[in-house]
Structure 1
Amino acid sequence: MPSSIFSITRAGALAATLWGMLAITNCANAVDNVIVLDSGEARLTLIDEATHKVIGTESTGKEPHHLMITPDGRSLIVADSVSNNLMFVDPHTGKVQRTVQDIEDPYQLGFSPDHKWFVTAALRMNRVDIYRYDGTNMVLVKHIELARTPSHMTFASDNRTVFVTLQDSGELAAIDLPTQTVLWKMHVGNEPAGLWMTPGDRYLLVGMTGEDDVTVVDWRKQQIVKKIHTGRGAHNFRNLDDGKHVAVSNRVESTISIIDYTTLTNAGDITGLLPGPDDMELTPDKRYLWVGFRFARHVGVIDLTSRKLIDTIAVGRSPHGIFFDNRAPVVSPNPD
């Protein structure tokens, strides 16, 4: 073998070895972070998941309320409702990647299950905006007027239907995505907010922020099946990924109820919390539930085995959306 070829081959092997060692080192030193949106501070807070210590902050637009990972896992979308934009940030570091302007009042956001549709609820403007998504860009298809105060949403698994709660009119609306038309609206109670679809798309659970219960809706028949007593200000949901339970935050009662969605009953309440529990996120190992306390400038960590609050972490005003960076894949450059 000529020495020049040998040198190139050896150099390539050495580079690959060094790259592998670097990758292993980075993996060993990797820190799993939690991103929390401080909607009252126009910023996000970065927390070390293991130590529960704040390790940094990053400026956002005004009133970042909700967030969502992109389908490819490369970006976390932060919806800045008052700044009328979407910020794409690195899901591992919180650093801003790019900003998409002229997305009006994106209070809530969501992708259809097939990722072809992107929907925002413009709470202040009394409308829902539907976009086509091509993997990179959002192209506006239609504004849909939906008075009053559209807030939370969820999708049917058929990729055709998005459901939206209208807080101030007390209604639940169903929108057909391919035709961008309102299929129906029905009254469900006082200040409906969070939505969660039970497995098999059987029922919609609606958090009644103006009441003390979760309303169960048979959406195909547009009928209320029952109301599950939880606590005052039932607001938002997080599936506990155990095949049986979903948590609902009771923002006024300052409790979290565990609903058995197989029996449609309240399986117990988590008490001893700070004021205003709202958005929640489950750790990947399913052992802990993190919750933002909107009225207390803290995030809490709940041990789901004992159902006790075991730690609180000071953040900014009005903490809202929560995201664990280890739920997004790490995309490494190709060394070749």
Structure 2
Amino acid sequence: MTRPTRATRRRTAVLACATAVALGLLGACSSGGAPTTAAPSRGTGTTRPSGVTSTATSTASATAADAAVTGRDVYAADGVGMLTGAARSAKPLVYVPDQVAGLVQVIDPSTYRVVATYHVASSPEHVVPSHDLTTLWVNSDAGDTLTPIDPRTGTPGTPVHVFDPYNLYFSPDGRYALVMSERARAIEVRDAHTMAAVRDVPVGCAGLNHADVTADRRTMLASCEFSGELVEIDPGLTHVVKTIDLDAIATPGATDPAMARSMGGPAGGLVRGASSMPQDVRLTPDGRWFLAADMLRNGVWVIDARTFTVARFIPTGKGAHGIYFSRDASRVYVSNRDEGTISVLDAATLVAVTTWVIPGGGSPDMGGVSADGKELWLSGRYSSVVYVFDTTTGRVTHEIPVASGPHGLLVWPQPGRISLGHTGTMR
């Protein structure tokens, strides 16, 4: 029997849970249907990728700048055209990992055409810029491989063996690469330049995948999609400090019936066993809140970045998945994968401003905002296309045909001093 792909397993889990919720069987999805395969032994991955620069950048100036913007705009260095360091010499391209076909397709953003296709290890999920912006890493989880791409040329180098790299982040000081390993149920801490294994941080939850850090760059919040949880990781990257169980979240009381209804329960009630599937996690520009998209609750959780407690929930649309900010940090873009829309929120108030609609529907997933801020690029996860949105009008200007399973695409270069990982979590 052919083993189902990760995309198939995820989609099946979503549909099964959605059906259970609709039937009132709220407890049926409490485990998320995640596999519990034991992790095999992992290689050290000590080989330095060939043809890729590994010089670390100093973070002293970046740390000082962060101190200045904390509480105002943590994305102050991510404005229009604010390219720094190695990003200045990068060739403008869009990298599209195809999770089904085992490919990375490269799009020229000036012509909106695929200009190159590379075969990589099986199930490439995301393309991630390194902390010092010198390397782009293709995360192939099923293939247990990170493949480096030289951003100056757009060509891949020698792959590095790394166990189950579903997603990739970096410690704010640039010392460590943080491999989000779903199968190991752990964050694999590695040397950011050699990828040599350092230690594992067990998380105890299923479906570890996305994360972001506080404005002071000390504490990480990560999502676990299959168990419906968020986990707070200590500043030393050694253990889980706190687990937030979204499946058993309490509504805020009868004073907010709209929120209670949006979460599937009566005003003032406790919604236990209601399935959650947290995805992308991003910090708001003022540093006050983490936002966590939830594919099954169809909206975004708002978590206090100081206390790590849930403050409220914002309904957006079916299959809320990716979270991105405009280049002036005034808007939040939330991709609603299961209904083909983008919800636009005011970044200061988190109030809905408008909704962009893909004509005829679609499956907008992961991507990023162009360096000039004029376009939002997103993969069409189940539509075999890449969408390009005009951020002024919200209109889809291009649907670029690609292979059958596009996922975490990267628009590169992007503004910012450093990369914290994913498809351009820049600071």
Given that 2:95 and 2:411 are in contact with CA atoms closer than 8 Å, whether structure 1 keeps it comes out as yes
Q: Does 2:192 correspond to 1:120?
A: no
Which among 222, 243, 246 is matched to residue 185 of structure 1?
Answer: 243
Q: Does 2:209 correspond to 1:151?
A: yes
Given that 2:205 and 2:229 are in contact with CA atoms closer than 8 Å, whether structure 1 keeps it comes out as no
Task: Say which SS state the counterpart of residue 199 (structure 2) adopts.
Answer: strand
Given that 1:232 and 1:253 are in contact with CA atoms closer than 8 Å, whether structure 2 keeps it comes out as yes
Question: What's the offset of the Cα at 1:138?
Answer: 3.9
Tell me the alpha carbon deviations over residues 110-158 of structure 1, each in whole angstroms, 9 at most, x when there is no partner: 112221222121123322222243x444432224142221121112243
Tell me the alpha carbon deviations over residues 1-31 of structure 1, each in whole angstroms, 9 at most, x when there is no partner: xxxxxxxxxxxxxxxxxxxxxxxxxxxxx97
What is aligned with 2:112? 52
What is aligned with 1:16? none
Tell me the alpha carbon deviations over residues 233-267 of structure 1, each in whole angstroms, 9 at most, x when there is no partner: 11111111222111111111211111212102111
Task: Say which SS state the counterpart of residue 387 (structure 2) adopts.
Answer: strand
Which among 303, 307, 323 is matched to residue 237 of structure 1?
Answer: 323
Structure 1 length normalisation: TM-score?
0.83
Question: What's the offset of the Cα at 1:288?
Answer: 0.9
* Cα separation, 2, equivalents of 1:166 and 1:137: 24
Amino acid at match of 2:109: E
Task: Say which SS state the counterpart of residue 319 (structure 1) adopts.
Answer: coil
Tell me the alpha carbon deviations over residues 168-211 of structure 1, each in whole angstroms, 9 at most, x when there is no partner: 22111011142501100012341111101112431110101111
User: Which structure carries more strand by proportion?
Assistant: 1
Which among 106, 120, 123 is matched to residue 63 of structure 1?
Answer: 123
Question: Which sits farther off after the overlay, 272-281 or 297-306?
Answer: 272-281
What is aligned with 2:394? 307
* Cα separation, 2, equivalents of 1:132 and 1:204: 27
List structure 1 segments (4+ residues) > 4 angstroms apart after TM superposition: none
- Residue 205 to residue 124, structure 1, CA distance change in 2 (3 Å): same
Given that 2:203 and 2:231 are in contact with CA atoms closer than 8 Å, whether structure 1 keeps it comes out as no
* Cα separation, 2, equivalents of 1:68 and 1:61: 15
Question: Which sits farther off after the overlay, 311-320 or 153-162?
Answer: 153-162
Q: Does 2:176 correspond to 1:176?
A: no
- Residue 321 to residue 132, structure 1, CA distance change in 2 (3 Å): same
* Cα separation, 2, equivalents of 1:285 and 1:230: 26
Given that 1:33 and 1:92 are in contact with CA atoms closer than 8 Å, whether structure 2 keeps it comes out as no
Given that 2:189 and 2:199 are in contact with CA atoms closer than 8 Å, whether structure 1 keeps it comes out as yes
What is aligned with 1:259? 345
Task: Say which SS state the counterpart of residue 184 (structure 2) adopts.
Answer: coil
Given that 2:376 and 2:389 are in contact with CA atoms closer than 8 Å, whether structure 1 keeps it comes out as yes
What is aligned with 1:247? 333
Task: Say which SS state the counterpart of residue 227 (structure 2) adopts.
Answer: coil
Which among 168, 181, 190 is matched to residue 131 of structure 1?
Answer: 190
* Cα separation, 2, equivalents of 1:243 and 1:325: 18
What is aligned with 1:8? none
Which among 220, 226, 233 is matched to residue 162 of structure 1?
Answer: 220
Given that 1:74 and 1:328 are in contact with CA atoms closer than 8 Å, whether structure 2 keeps it comes out as no
Tell me the alpha carbon deviations over residues 68-120 of structure 1, each in whole angstroms, 9 at most, x when there is no partner: 1123332111111001111111224432222111x111111111222122212
* Cα separation, 2, equivalents of 1:36 and 1:238: 17
* Cα separation, 2, equivalents of 1:193 and 1:289: 19
Amino acid at match of 2:318: R
- Residue 143 to residue 326, structure 1, CA distance change in 2 (3 Å): closer
* Cα separation, 2, equivalents of 1:186 and 1:163: 10
Amino acid at match of 1:33: L
What is aligned with 2:419? none
Given that 1:91 and 1:328 are in contact with CA atoms closer than 8 Å, whether structure 2 keeps it comes out as no
Higher relative contact order (CA 8 A, sep 6+): 2
Given that 2:322 and 2:365 are in contact with CA atoms closer than 8 Å, whether structure 1 keeps it comes out as yes
Given that 1:154 and 1:196 are in contact with CA atoms closer than 8 Å, whether structure 2 keeps it comes out as yes
Question: What's the offset of the Cα at 1:296?
Answer: 0.4
Gaps of at least 5 residues in structure 1 are 1-29, 330-336
Task: Say which SS state the counterpart of residue 201 (structure 1) adopts.
Answer: coil
Given that 1:174 and 1:183 are in contact with CA atoms closer than 8 Å, whether structure 2 keeps it comes out as yes
Given that 1:89 and 1:96 are in contact with CA atoms closer than 8 Å, whether structure 2 keeps it comes out as yes
Amino acid at match of 1:32: P
Gaps of at least 5 residues in structure 2 are 1-89, 248-275, 417-427
Amino acid at match of 1:112: S
